[in-house]
Amino acid sequence: MIVFDLGCDNDHRFEGWFASSEDFERQQLEKKLSCPLCGSTQINRLVTAARLNTGRAEAPAREQPEAVADAAQYANFDAARMLKLISHIVENTEDVGKAFPEEARKIHYRESPERHIRGTASAQEVDALRDEGIDIVALPVPAHLANKPH
């Protein structure tokens, strides 16, 4: 596995794990990569500092200082906590799929009963919803959870 620092056209930074550099390039060309914060598919590799092998072995993660362990966390959540949070959200929301923008508006304007929903929306649809004062959150939902029914 190879880890790349990635960024989207909205200046969000995140990591991506790939089998190879070619795997990253293929997924990028096929628009299979998206920002976990905003959903943008305009993803690029970011320049990162080279890592030098000084011959000293690094301490295992459990022995590293807390500050180093915290740096490996995403949005103050480690991967296990993030997955648990996303699983909880998936289990407690209704999947409305591509109808998300329409359903969010209906709920916001009280044309539909209030309920917790999830679904997909383009970056433009997200911007439009936010412009209307509709609070939404973009989350990176793993494929194995994405189509899980309510």
* pLDDT (tens place) for every residue of the chain, 150 residues total: 788 889 988 888 888 888 888 888 999 999 888 888 888 889 999 876 544 445 554 444 444 344 333 344 444 556 677 778 888 888 889 999 899 999 999 999 999 999 999 888 888 998 899 999 998 887 777 666 766 555
Structure tokens at 105: 């508006």
* Residue 66 structure tokens: 């807390």
Contacts of 116 (CB under 8 A, 6+ apart): 92, 93, 94
| End-to-end CA, the chain | 33
- Amino acid at residue number 108: H
Return the CA Rg of the chain: 19
Entry pTM:
0.47
